[in-house]
Each structure stands twice: as C-alpha cells, then as structure tokens.
Amino acid sequence: MSSIDIPYATLLAKYEFNDMVIEYWLASQSRAVGLRLYPKSTASQVVERREFLNTPEILAVPEETFNTVRAWLIDSMVQLKLLGDTTEGYPQGRTMRNSASLADLRFERQSVDEEDGTTSVITRLVSPRGFAVDHRLAWINGGAGFSVQVTFHNLGQQPLTLEMLSSFSLGGITPYANDDAPGRLHLHRFRSYWSAEGRHDSQPIEEMGLERSWANHAPRAERFGQVGSMPVRGFFPFIAVEDRAVGVFWGVQLAWAGSWQMEAYRKDDCLCISGGLADREFGHWMKVVSPGESFMTPAANVSTVAGDLDDLCDRLTAMQAPTVDRAPQSEQSLPVICNEWCTSWGDPHHDQLVAMADKLKDTRVKYLVIDAGWYKGDGGVWALAQGDWQPNPRLFPHGMRATTDAIRARGLVPGIWFEFEVVGEQSPMFTQTDHLLKRDGLPVTAGGRRFLDFRDPWVVDYLSKKVIGFLKENGFGYIKVDYNETIGIGVDGAESLGEGLRQHLVGMQRFFALMRAEIPDLVIENCASGGHRLEPSMMGLVSMASFSDAHEGCEIPIIAANLHRLILPRQSQIWAVLHRADSMQRLTYSLTAGFLGRLCLSGEIERLDPAQWALVEEAIRFYDRVAPLIKDGKSQLYQSIGLSWRHPQGAQVIWRTSRDGQQAFGVVHSFAEPLPSEITVPGQEGAGGWRVAGCFPANSVSPHLTKDGVVFMPGGPFQGQVVYLTNREEESVC
C-alpha cells in the first residue's frame, strides 16, 4: 500500500460512558492521539470531515508554491512544552500549544482499569527523547462527566524542564460540520470580581478572532485565566463551547486553587480547547522533572450534553457531589447558619453573642459563627492583627470557652473565623520572615498582610497548635477560613516563581485536610473575600463556601442565582442581613435570596421586633421544607435584568426540580422597573399535575399553571418570593 492510500487518521478506540461517546483518534504516520467526544444522542448527526482545503484562495496558488493543505489535523490530547523546544506560526506570547516537544510523542498503549466503581482509560504516549506521558480519563460509573489528568515521566538520564503541561485537551470541535462551521460556535466563560462573582460571558468565536486563516497558517489562540492564589479572580476556571446549529455543549471545570489557564485554539477547520496550570508565559511556571521522577497535573472535570448551558453546568457541578457527601453528618440536612459579622462588624463580644444565641435557640439555626476581630488587641484593626490568635480579654472576659459553652447550652454549634494563611502588620508574626513567603528575597507584602509558607514544617506545627488545638480546646464545631489577599505571580524556593506558588498551595490544601482528619465532625467554610476560591479542589475540602461579599446589595440574588452554574447550591452560603429599620418587603427580599443556597442570617438579629422576627421564623420553617431540593436537584435560570448588576431592572426566576421530577420550587426576585409582566418556566406540564404546595411569604401570589408551563408574575420593584410545587399528594397551603 502506498503512502497516499494510508488514511491520515484512524479511530483508535471508542467508549460509551453513560450518554457520552469518547473517541481516541490516531494519526497514522505521526502516531499522535487526539480526543473527541459528543453526546450519544447526536451520533447520527456526526459527519465525515473534508480532508483538504479546496477553497478559491488555495486553488489560486501554484501547487509548486503551496503544497496541498489539509483541512484538519489531529490535535494532541496532551499539550506540553519543554525548555528549549521551538514553536512556529508566531505563537510566542499567545500560546505554547503544539510546540516541537510533541513532534515525536507517539502512542504506545492503552488500557482500561475498573476499580471501586470507577472506569479509567489510561493512554501512554512515549518520546524517543526519554520521556512519556500517561493520559488518564476516569469515569465514576453512572456519572454525567469524567475527569482527566496527565502525568509526565522522565525516563531519561538528564533533567527535563516543563514550561507547559495541560490537564486536558479536546479537539475535533465541531464533529457536526464537515467544514470550519462558520457562525455556529460560541465560547462560554464566567467572569468574576469581588462582590460580582459568576457573570456569564458568551461570544461567537468569530468575534474573538478564532477563525482559521485562509491557509491554516499562524494559529489563533485565546488564553485566559488568573495568576495568584485566588483562583476565582477575573474568571472562573471554566470553559465551554456551544454548537448552536445542533444544540450541543462541551465544557470543562479545572480543579485547582492557584494560577491556571484555559485556551481556545484554532489552526484548521476544528476548534480545540485545553487548560491546566498557568504556563511559563502566563503564570511564570516551570517545573524541573529529574530522571526517574514524575509530575501530575490537577484534574479537569469534562462533560458534553445536547441541551443548554444549565444542562451542561448541572453535569459539571454534579461531579463535585461525591466529596460533599462525605461532609459531617450535621451538614446533611443543610441547617441554617448565623454569622455575627454584619452585627458587630469586627468587634464581637461575649454578651452580644449570648444575646444572639438566646434569640436563635429553638429555631432551625444550628451554627452561630464568631467572625473577625476576636483576636485583635485593644485599639487594633481586625484586618491587620492576624497571626497570634489569642482572644481579646476585653471582648471575652471569661475566656473563649465560656462563650462557646454558653452557645452550646442554647442548642447551637459555635463557629469561629480565622485567616490563618496570613499574618498582619500588628502581629509580632509579621517580622518572623524565616517562615514567610518571599519573592526576590523579600517578604511578599500586600495590604498590610504577609503570607505564611505552607512548605515549612514549622508553619504547619505552629498552626496545628494555634488553629486545630484552639478549636479542640474551646469546643468549636465550625471554622470559617477567610483569605483576603492574593500572593501574585509566585514565590521563591523552587525552580520558578509559579512552581513555588504551586507547592505552597498544595501545602495549604494539606492543612485543610489535616483539620478534618484531626476533628472529623468539623464543619469548614471556605471564604476568600467572599467568592474567590469557588473551584472544585477547594470545594471538595469544605462543607460550604461564602458565595460573595455582597452582603447587603440588591445584586445578592443575581450573584447567588448565577453561581448555581458553578458550585452546588448546597455549598453556597447566601447571607440574609437583617436590620430593625428594614421594611417587611426588604426583609422578605433578603430572606428569599437565602433560598438560593445555604441560608445564613446576620445583622441586628436580637433587635428585630416581634413581627419582623415572626417573618424570619416563617422563612426558616419554609427553608426546612425545601432544603432537600437545595441539596439535590437541577437548576434552570430565567433572567431578564438588563446589563447592570448594581442597578438591575426586570426580574429573574431560579427553577429547581428534584431528580425524580416530582417536586420543584421557584425563587422569584424582581428588581427596578420596567418589570416583565410574567416569566414562564416552560415545559413543566403545568396542566399535568403540578400543584402549589407552599409559599414564602405565605401571602404570596401563586403562579399560573398553564399548558405552556409555570408562569410567575413579578410584583412591584425589589420583591422576593419562594413557591414550592409538587406532583405528590400534599395539601396546598398557599
């Protein structure tokens, strides 16, 4: 057989996991392997790709000047670059994908392992230059997605330096077009800023410059991410592509707490997406792998679906559920939290906490959390006194144990705030520079804070006493771990600044695991200036997370609703800050926002009048009723709010259904005028059995149940409502 008779690529292997098809494609000559996936239900719509560009531009060029141009190439499912290897096509500063490091990385073998309910496909690629990579695709049986990790092995005699190593790379997008699919593909991502987390961003790839060139030369790339120790700052570690012609999404969430990147890449007919640790160009990262050593990337959660963005995000967030199911037993019923931060604003004291506990006893509130400031010196500032972790005797004259005993005596679990990864300038620890992170030999300093080095055994021992020992000694069952600065590009102590940062953050996460190991029933809250650590690896270490620092703004329900697409609502702690001066309408607006996740009360709890407190108790009772759906369900977001989150107009509904389809609830919020006359949740078979079984507040206007769906009618500006519906035999109370 001549070379022209050999197909360019052949199907190496094909797997069906749940409703997904995963294909491995092998280039016949180079032995490169590409990864393609699509929903099983769309298999009949997959088309055979054109092999060559026969466009007018190509045909106009003399053949001896411009050789035949392939319309598509296998894009390696492993992307890496080694120090010293070349790139071509003007990519430097834009992308490190498809470097010369991949030129002779060839398929060696593939195996399938079955263990503990997980099916893993391990593909080994080997280079004659003395290195190999293992690509592991792991599917938990029955799951709606899978995780991917890559391990690099140095098989040679000399150290090798990585400048980039991806966690995942998907090619062949879109398999439903035999050309470059003009006008069909859209890229989705979620932007994030302080008190504005999770804003959906969607663009046609043409607007992003991701069309192929006329001759498939000079690849296009969109590389985005974040650099530092706040992984959800600028963007969430998420990427998705939609083919609007067929209604299919491909999406990925990266599980990593440090610098990361995602890339959309285009050289030919096919769009490719990849991501992982931020590379040398983007995140100042290089890693030396010595002979006989290996390096593994963070995991990436991957899925595909025929549906909409909510369908895709439901599949990806569901992959976070197994770790959350291992949370302490006290968390399984999603009890209500109360945090005193918006009560004392950094000045908590014994008498006030006891008064709050008196107010909360005999309710479904379970945790009463002492927030920042309990450790500051007289005249000190809560944000600059971290490090010594000694309770202020003026605030707690009988000692911290007396306060926690008083809280427990009223049936509540006491919690406490720490920001133990940093030291403030008002603490003697600020000058303990031997144990602090440095860059260019100087302590990394930001906003009056410096950072403890979690690679240092002394630091782990110190915090084991100051944090874990303190929790045990004082009977705490809950810790809120805050984090209010970012380390930036990296730190000294490794072969690159980015690698130093990575090693430090691995140590930080080990300390989180140590807290749980030492105190198995400990409830851990993940907070980083609100929502700057809302990514899967951190969420897997904790029971819940602060959704945002937007404590009292009108945008709270907007942020909370959008976060349904990125974290599990059962882990999203939503604050309802209550003031004596609030109208009943404003109290209802705040309380109903709490139904978008884990309800957390704060504010002037003990000063509310009887009517106000009765409304709070009504909300808590109703929350108890819908908590099972918050814990396990599927969300759909319907929004018509204009461009501004700070000055929103219109209304929104989060519609959440149980997995068996027998129960649902809608959380409705209206904003400034103009308001829509109605918002319809379509396809809910309103005439087929749905009944309103409860509302909060109790005097709410029920939605219309029509043949088209459930129709909500927003009231006046800035109102909130929760409606519980069922197909079961339950008495209507609305």
Summarised one tens digit per residue, pLDDT across range 430-452 is 999 999 999 999 999 999 999 99
Determine the Cα–Cα distance for residues 212 and 214; give it in Å rounded to an integer: 7
Report the run of H or E that residue 638 belongs to, with start and end: strand 634-640
CA Rg value for the chain: 27
pLDDT at 528 over 80: yes
For residue 529, the Cα-to-chain-centroid distance in whole angstroms is 15
Q: For residue 716, what are its two tokens?
A: 């006046």
Taking residues 510-521, what's their average pLDDT?
Answer: 97
pLDDT at 1 over 70: no
Query: Angle between the 584-593 and 610-631 helix axes, to the nearest 10 degrees?
Result: 20
Q: For residue 688, what are its two tokens?
A: 């087929």
Taking residues 382-402, what's their average pLDDT?
Answer: 97
Taking residues 160-177, what's their average pLDDT?
Answer: 98
* pTM metric for this prediction: 0.96
DSSP, collapsed to helix, strand or coil, labels residue 52 as: strand
- Cβ atoms of residues 670 and 717 within 8 Å: yes
Q: Determine the pLDDT at residue 58.
A: 82
Q: Determine the pLDDT at residue 323.
A: 86
Peptide bond into 174 cis (omega under 30): yes
Taking residues 210-219, what's their average pLDDT?
Answer: 93
Q: Determine the pLDDT at residue 324.
A: 87
- Cβ atoms of residues 550 and 526 within 8 Å: no
Among 597, 610, 607, CA closest to 566? 597
Tracing tokens 């490190």 back to the chain, one arrives at 96
3-40+75-319: CATH number: 2.70.98.60
Tracing tokens 């005097």 back to the chain, one arrives at 699
pLDDT band at 121 (very low <50, low <70, confident <90, very high): very high
For the 637-726 domain, the top CATH level (class) is mainly beta
Domain with CATH 3.20.20.70 in the chain: 323-546
pLDDT at 732 over 70: no
Taking residues 255-274, what's their average pLDDT?
Answer: 98
Q: Determine the pLDDT at residue 67.
A: 66
pLDDT tens sequence across 477-488: 999 999 999 999
Percent residues over pLDDT 70 in the chain = 97
413 or 699: which leads in pLDDT = 413
pLDDT at 4 over 80: no
Determine the Cα–Cα distance for residues 203 and 172; give it in Å rounded to an integer: 19
Neighbours of 262 (CB within 10 A): 26
Q: Determine the pLDDT at residue 150.
A: 98
Taking residues 556-565, what's their average pLDDT?
Answer: 98
- Cβ atoms of residues 28 and 12 within 8 Å: no
Q: Determine the pLDDT at residue 729.
A: 63
Q: Determine the pLDDT at residue 402.
A: 98
Q: Determine the pLDDT at residue 734.
A: 52
Exposure string of 341-362, with b = 16+ CB inside 10 Å and e = fewer, is bbbbeebbbbebbbebbebbee
Q: Determine the pLDDT at residue 687.
A: 42
Q: Determine the pLDDT at residue 326.
A: 85
pLDDT at 351 over 70: yes
Strands (E), 307-421: 336-339, 365-370, 413-418
pLDDT tens sequence across 128-158: 999 999 999 999 999 999 999 999 999 999 9
Residue 512 backbone phi and psi in degrees, to 5: -60, -45
Mean pLDDT for all residues in the chain: 95
For residue 456, the Cα-to-chain-centroid distance in whole angstroms is 28
Determine the Cα–Cα distance for residues 76 and 106; give it in Å rounded to an integer: 10
Taking residues 285-302, what's their average pLDDT?
Answer: 98
pLDDT tens sequence across 172-202: 999 999 999 999 999 999 999 999 999 999 9
pLDDT at 65 over 80: no
Burial of 201 (0-12, 13-18, 19+ CB in 10 A): exposed
Determine the Cα–Cα distance for residues 528 and 540; give it in Å rounded to an integer: 15
Please give the angle made by the CA atoms of 158, 161 and 164, to the nearest 5 degrees.
150
pLDDT at 686 over 60: no
Burial of 104 (0-12, 13-18, 19+ CB in 10 A): middle
Domain with CATH 2.70.98.60 in the chain: 3-40+75-319
Q: Which residues contact 198 (CB under 8 A, 6 or more apart)?
A: 190, 191, 192, 236, 531, 534, 559, 562, 563, 565, 566
CATH classification of 323-546, choosing from 3.30.750.24, 1.20.1560.10, 3.20.20.70, 3.40.605.10? 3.20.20.70
pLDDT band at 706 (very low <50, low <70, confident <90, very high): confident
Percent residues over pLDDT 90 in the chain = 90
Burial of 235 (0-12, 13-18, 19+ CB in 10 A): buried
Exposure string of 49-61, with b = 16+ CB inside 10 Å and e = fewer, is beeebeeeebeee
